[in-house]
Structure 1
Amino acid sequence: MTERLVVDPVTRIEGHLRIEARMDGERIAEAYSSGTMVRGLELILRGRDPREAWAFAQRICGVCTLVHGIASVRAVEAALKGAIPPNAQLIRNLMIAAQHVHDHVMHFYHLHALDWVDVASALRADPKAAAALAQRQGQWPLDSIGHFTDVQKRLHDLLKSGQPGLFANGYWGHPAYKLPREINLIALVHDLDALAWQREIVKLHTLFGGKNPHPNLVVGGVASPIDLDSDTAINARKLAQVQDLIQQMREFVTQVYVPDVLSIASYYKDWGERGEGLGNFMSYGDLPARGAEDPASFLLPRGVILGRDLRKVHELDLDARDQIEEYVAHSWYRYQDGNAQGLHPYAGETALDYEGCGGVPPPYQQLRVDDGYSFIKSPRWRGHVVEVGPLARVLLLHATGHRQTRELVKMALRRLDLSSQALFSTLGRTLARALETQILVDAMQTWYDDLIANIKAGETKTCNQDLWDPVNWPARCWGVGYMEAPRGALGHWIDIENGKIANYQAVVPTTWNAGPRDHQGQPGAYEAALQDRHQLHDPARPVEILRTVHSFDPCIACAVHLVDPQGAGQVRIRVQ
């Protein structure tokens, strides 16, 4: 077998991911993405009451908890053909957007920035110069000499202690790092500021959903009633807190996150030429305006872009059985009628069979890429491999003429002195996530104002309770609950028969992006991106691989499925 460079596990992600790269000198010739854990809930949901599916579906992931819950309740609502009150749509919008803002900021500072920021260099920075530079970039009130000096000392003591926590296992001093010392220090100071900030903003989920993570949801709307005179419902005090949290989000995004991304990107402009791979992008669309359910009202548009052509947005139908299909030719699963076919999620099967498809399960020395090599399936849209996530959404916003998106993209490219082609890259993916965060945090104020206007007009309903009576349900129905999660297009497909769940399939963002090759040999989004003009300074410290993989924000726990319920496919763990 050809020897390959192996990164396993890829750290600073949710779940377990292995990347293997076949090298041609210092260049990556071929890349292989393998989800190496088995986890999922689809089969557990069979036979259960569909009204409780969301509580199980939320446990697919410990990070994206809200989004799986909302996709699940939307699937049931779609199957029952029930509408939810406008207030419920607006509250869901606020909760979804808060998840995006929280997730994107946390991803950049705590999962991705360390691919570009050299911690060791920050120890030699001048705190006074760093604080002055930070004050010119933004208006963050904590950017003082004293704060920078204090954080630098804490960082020094942390590294000296031998227990560096989240700063462990970095390639510090790697020649691929380019930032000046002071910008390294700014990023690390803001990394710690973001930790304190995120503890506050997650309270929006607790105000509307009772807790975080895993806020409470309900089929037909949201779980909290509106009663301005109640101590336990959504009242005037809680609504005032929501307004304050939206303001805190906007301040950090505008004054810290977006300026930091632009500042760091200016030293890595060469990464605007590598790491795209596919050129195909898809969004399910989400965030209806003013409570409307019509996709035409979505802030995040629905559609597919093929071959970088922003002049044409292809229509997407999530119910059509000839559009979305999952393949398992190179996965550790089997389909009853053969692995060369693709299955629409309504007809989806989840049966583990790494032996039957010729793969070798963990532990292994090298993936058998001609056979099965991942616990992740390979979804396709009309046979096309597509990328999902913030870059796909920003491109679709741009393609459909969204004014703020076009202005933000123009501003960013002008600041960085880059052409529009740089959007299609690892750098573009990271930049798009920051610009999308600005768009969403601004939109939150509009949804909040609409909610307040509804309440003032006497409209306080937050749930359609008619959906709760099984007497009104058809004997058999199907529905898809879709949304745009922080990492991309998320869909839950449900089949309800005689009031119980007959089948349930979740196709998640990381399934689209991290899936292996399909029956035609087409690489997944991670694989294609890594094969796109990647040179490694030092194969023993492949920070370049981490930069591109982390730019997708992997969530492998979401992407894998469940073992066969009869126990035919058990995970075997051996310590050598």
Structure 2
Amino acid sequence: MAKRITVDPITRIEGHLRIDCEVDKGLISNAWSSGQMWRGIEVILQGRDPREAWLYTQRICGVCTTVHAIASVRAVENALNLEIPLNAQLIRNLIIAGHGIFDHLVHFYHLSALDWVDIVSALDADPKAAAKLGQQLSSWHRNSVSEMTGIQDKLKKFVSSGQLGIFASGYWGHPAMKLSPEVNLLAVTHYFQALEYQRKINQIVAVLGSKTPHIQNLAVGGVANPVDQDSPASLNMDKLYQIKSLITEIDAFIKQVYLVDVAAIGAFYADWTGYGAGVLNYLSVPDMPTDTKGESFMLPGGYIPNGDLGSFRAVNSFTDEFFEQNVKESIKHSWYQGDWDRHPYKEETVPDYTGFEDQGKYSWIKAPNFQDQPAQVGPLANVMAMVAAGHKPTQDYLDLALNTAGSLAGTTIPVQALHSTIGRHAARAVRAAVLTDTLSQNWKALVENIGSGDTEICNQPQFPKGEIRGFGFHEAPRGMLSHWVVIENGKIANYQCVVPSTWNAGPRGKDDQLGPYEASLVGNPIADPEKPLEVLRTVHSFDPCIACAVHMMDQEEQEIVKVKVL
């Protein structure tokens, strides 16, 4: 008889997520993904000035802040058919790449690596052996005995104090953990080093965006970064060369540490290339525009049905009709009034909580579909699309990751192995390496464009009378993000955010197909139902951000929380 497991809340994510599973004979046979908070941004935006939307939408989340701002201004610009200056595109691209790399580093090392790395085991490691292993894997200059010894001493202090601090409540010693003490110590050392480098890359976002989280430099029509070589308060060569030095530092960590670590974890847990595939319809969008109209991109995107790269169909521009016409959302199993499947332009957001019903409504998250089918979004979908599109840098980094993992595992690892829990981690590391290259490319292009005498940063929007509609998309760290806006007489009449964690964490759809989280869990092993580590492994591989999918509001306008600033 199947045993029911409920993990609520899923930790080491952003937001509130509940996962229910049925386990039969050691394998997950059924699953439900439930968002436990309601996102009310769409209601808040009704009647507001479209030029302000990006300021509100990026407050959906404190983690993926830049992404909603980018998608929002693109949606309004799309409605207005408004071009933006090249400087603005390049500045936005630098922010996009910087935030993406930051997000990928945090996800692997600080949110999901602890599903694979046994912190307590690292106490038994030989630091010299751990350093030697690190030096065999890459040329990273900080794979030293002194670094390994210092981190091991830090861990010993945690344990001797009786408090593991940030490492408390882990499934240490779990039978599914199988790395050697030396590999665990190497991984923990890189965990602490990653804290330094995610801070460095985020400085790029802060310099260009005025602050982070929640950048302040965007505007419908461009950016608000004045370009003036003679003003210390403007974007000048001093700031640009500060950014250049940060790019150089982060490049080494991504390619010599992150990419190598993920390949090593994949080799040691090669069996996990057989778990977690789930939905194989992959959806991504192009990004890093190189022109003022959004018709040419550094990074391609598109749709791959059923994992067949030969059936890839590209999304080609910010006005692509193939993309615009095929996105819908269903609320059949979501806590909203009705049972409809609609295009975002025609959606409503009317909450209607009923309680958790296995066969009925059980989540605040809607269920998106593309061409009437559920789709998986995220770095795996993006990497698959870029490979299908013939993007050489992506193919090169993917080959490097697969070859490194294959040499450690003693076997050849095919591209098909990416359709898995561990494959999502590999794709994210590959994408981080690609984004690092685009940082340098966009920096060079921006410096050259400013050097040519072009200092334009924004085109003024003009709103016509009557109704206009627009959509804006962005390949965010967690996958394809789109915002949809209907504007009447210069005011927002309807606004919908169809976000990555809605695509992946959504419940069953209009035809009762399982959502990507749910489908990916079916067939996963469970060694100990009381410690369902394997559930966390697969769910974490998507990098959930449930605040982006849902938000909280009290309909009776009662105070929920008070924050006091001293």
Per the TM alignment, residue 53 of structure 1 is displaced from its structure 2 partner at its CA by 1.0
RMSD: 2.0
Is the alpha carbon distance of 1:306 and 1:510 closer, same or farther for their aligned partners in structure 2, counting shifts above 3 Å?
same
Structure 1 residue 478 corresponds to structure 2 residue 473: no
Aligned to 1:509: 500
1:393-408 matches, cutoff 5 A: 393-408=382-397
Q: What is the SS of the residue equivalent to 2:31? A: strand
Structure 1 residue 333 corresponds to structure 2 residue 336: yes
Per the TM alignment, residue 299 of structure 1 is displaced from its structure 2 partner at its CA by 2.7
Aligned to 2:489: 498
Aligned to 1:122: 122
Counterparts of 1:429 and 1:40, CA distance in 2: 30
Q: Deviations over 1:144-188 (max 9, x none)?
A: 212211111111111332332321211101111111111101111
**Structure 2 unaligned runs (5+)?**
407-411, 561-566
* Matched pairs, number: 549
* 8 A contact 2:326–2:371 mirrored in 1: yes
From 370, 374, 378, the counterpart of 1:381: 370
1:217-296 matches, cutoff 5 A: 217-289=218-290, 291-295=291-295
Counterparts of 1:203 and 1:17, CA distance in 2: 30
Counterparts of 1:138 and 1:215, CA distance in 2: 35
Q: Deviations over 1:204-236 (max 9, x none)?
A: 112111111101121111121111110100011
Per the TM alignment, residue 389 of structure 1 is displaced from its structure 2 partner at its CA by 0.3
Aligned to 1:39: 39
Structure 1 residue 432 corresponds to structure 2 residue 435: no
* 8 A contact 1:87–1:460 mirrored in 2: yes
Amino acid paired to 1:53:
A
Q: What is the SS of the residue equivalent to 1:495? A: strand
Counterparts of 1:292 and 1:210, CA distance in 2: 23
Q: Deviations over 1:235-281 (max 9, x none)?
A: 11101111011112201101211111111211011111110111110
Per the TM alignment, residue 381 of structure 1 is displaced from its structure 2 partner at its CA by 0.6
User: What TM-score, normalized to structure 2?
Assistant: 0.93
Per the TM alignment, residue 294 of structure 1 is displaced from its structure 2 partner at its CA by 3.9
Per the TM alignment, residue 119 of structure 1 is displaced from its structure 2 partner at its CA by 0.6
From 516, 524, 529, the counterpart of 1:539: 529
Aligned to 2:413: 418
1:517-528 matches, cutoff 5 A: 517-528=508-519
Counterparts of 1:214 and 1:87, CA distance in 2: 21
Q: What is the SS of the residue equivalent to 1:202? A: helix
Counterparts of 2:162 and 2:223, CA distance in 1: 47
Counterparts of 1:461 and 1:163, CA distance in 2: 55
Q: What is the SS of the residue equivalent to 1:536? A: coil
Aligned to 1:369: 358
Per the TM alignment, residue 134 of structure 1 is displaced from its structure 2 partner at its CA by 1.4
Amino acid paired to 2:230:
D
* 8 A contact 1:350–1:561 mirrored in 2: no
Amino acid paired to 2:42:
E
Counterparts of 1:255 and 1:320, CA distance in 2: 37
Aligned to 2:176: 176
Q: Deviations over 1:33-52 (max 9, x none)?
A: 01112233111111111111
Amino acid paired to 2:263:
L
Is the alpha carbon distance of 1:455 and 1:119 closer, same or farther for their aligned partners in structure 2, counting shifts above 3 Å?
same
Q: What is the SS of the residue equivalent to 2:15? A: coil
Aligned to 2:564: none
Counterparts of 1:309 and 1:509, CA distance in 2: 21
Aligned to 1:342: 341
Q: Deviations over 1:550-573 (max 9, x none)?
A: 000000000015669688x999xx
Q: What is the SS of the residue equivalent to 1:189? A: helix
Aligned to 2:306: 307
Counterparts of 2:386 and 2:20, CA distance in 1: 34
* 8 A contact 2:287–2:299 mirrored in 1: yes
Identity of aligned residues (%): 49
Counterparts of 1:428 and 1:266, CA distance in 2: 11
1:194-209 matches, cutoff 5 A: 194-209=194-209
Aligned to 1:574: none
Counterparts of 1:181 and 1:2, CA distance in 2: 35
* 8 A contact 2:260–2:401 mirrored in 1: no
* 8 A contact 1:350–1:563 mirrored in 2: no
* 8 A contact 2:468–2:488 mirrored in 1: yes
Q: What is the SS of the residue equivalent to 2:124? A: coil
